[in-house]
């Protein structure tokens, strides 16, 4: 009786069968044995100024992002949280974006990156809340005439002129409105800013509020020279500036932005740059 010879399986199939048998012996699923093996990369992080090695990551996946590398670096140096890190390819180059992928960067199997400490950071939302809350507090110090402002003789006294009270209402409404905008309307493209810069940012708002409040609430203050007509005109301008970016105007402006595809452009306002422009144009003249 003649024996039938079974053709031998191809070498590739033999390798797969061997991997599956090995996987079963190790308690793994056969699909895990067939999974492609990624070639891991090495990442060396140096100090941007001294070129001293700070960290060496020897098992980094090629599709890891700069954000992932920041987190890995943060595990080695907890004091440098991700928002405080500037990771770059060149010591004097620009910081790499969080979404950039390691394997797409012009580096070899061992990537050399440079780290720069940006210093303590503060979120943009907190920056604007600090800028706008300061003038509210400062203005009331002058409005209620604290003893250290105008002296003991005029402490906690009130002005006999109604326009002084009207100015306090308008000033408070303006900055309360801006605080609400910061929380519910505006979006910020950058997550943080250096903490040391907040003094410079607050100087305008806090200093201008103090200068304004000092003269308006001064015991020797006198009403406008043109009387009630000048006051009425100022109130109308204030209400116009506050009403423009709201309600029907806002709906019309959003439709205009959508028709011109402006909303797709990132800006500090979620409604697009045109909305942000008109919003600023109505806020800034009042502050002036």
pLDDT at 18 over 50: no
pLDDT, residue 167, reads 93
Provide the pLDDT for residue 268: 43
Instruction: Answer whether 169's CB lies under 8 Å from 231's CB.
Output: no
Give the integer Cα–Cα distance in Å for 29 and 21: 10
* 220-279: pLDDT as tens digits: 998 888 888 898 998 898 888 777 655 444 554 555 555 544 443 334 444 455 545 554
Q: What is the pLDDT of residue 56?
A: 95
Whether the pLDDT of residue 169 is over 90: the answer is: yes
Specify the pLDDT at position 10: 46
For residues 7 and 226, give the distance between their C-alpha atoms in angstroms, rounded to a whole number. 109
Of 35-39, 79-83, 201-205, the poorest mean pLDDT is in: 35-39
146-166 in b/e burial notation, b at 16+ Cβ within 10 A? eeebbeeeeeeeebeeebbee
Smallest CA-to-CA distance from 273 within 287, 260, 285 is with: 260
What pTM was computed for the model? 0.64
3-state secondary structure 9-69: CCHHHHHHHHHHHHHHHCCCCHHHHHCCCCCCEEEEEEECCCCCEEEEEEEECCCCEHHHH
Q: Is the pLDDT of residue 144 over 50?
A: yes
**What pLDDT does 156 receive?**
81
Residue 165 structure tokens: 């009270």
Could you tell me the CA-to-CA distances from 188 to 13, 191, 271 in Å, in that order? 55, 7, 12
Q: Which helix (H) or strand (E) holds 199?
A: helix 198-216
Is the pLDDT assigned to residue 173 strictly greater than 90?
Answer: yes
Radius of gyration of the chain (CA): 32
The answer for residues whose C-beta is within 8 angstroms of residue 254's C-beta and 6 or more apart is: 263, 271, 272, 275
């Amino acid at each position: 009786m003649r024996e039938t010879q079974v053709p031998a399986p191809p070498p590739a199939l033999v390798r797969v069968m061997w991997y599956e048998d090995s996987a079963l012996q190790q308690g793994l699923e056969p699909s895990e044995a067939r999974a492609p093996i990624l070639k891991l990369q090495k990442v060396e992080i140096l100090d941007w100024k001294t070129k001293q090695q700070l960290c060496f990551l020897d098992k980094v996946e090629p599709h890891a992002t700069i954000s992932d590398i920041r987190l890995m670096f943060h595990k080695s140096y907890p004091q440098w949280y991700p928002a405080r890190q500037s990771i770059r390819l060149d010591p004097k180059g620009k910081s790499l974006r969080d979404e950039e992928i390691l394997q797409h960067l012009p580096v070899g199997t061992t990537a050399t990156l440079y780290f720069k400490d940006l210093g303590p950071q503060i979120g943009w939302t907190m920056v604007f809340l600090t800028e706008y809350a300061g003038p509210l507090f400062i203005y009331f110090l002058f409005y209620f005439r604290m003893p250290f402002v105008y002296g003991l003789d005029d402490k906690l006294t009130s002005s006999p002129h109604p326009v002084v009270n009207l100015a306090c209402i308008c000033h408070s409404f303006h900055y309360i409105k801006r605080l609400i905008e910061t929380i519910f309307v505006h979006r910020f493209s950058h997550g943080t800013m250096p903490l040391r810069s907040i003094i410079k940012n607050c100087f305008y708002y806090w200093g201008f509020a103090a200068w304004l409040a000092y003269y308006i609430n001064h015991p020797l203050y006198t009403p406008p020279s043109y009387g009630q007509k000048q006051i009425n005109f100022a109130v109308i301008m204030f209400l116009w500036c506050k009403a423009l970016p709201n309600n029907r105007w806002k709906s019309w402006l959003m439709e205009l932005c959508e028709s011109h595809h402006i909303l797709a452009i990132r800006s500090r306002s979620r409604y697009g740059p045109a909305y942000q422009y008109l919003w600023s144009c109505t806020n800034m003249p009042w502050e002036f």
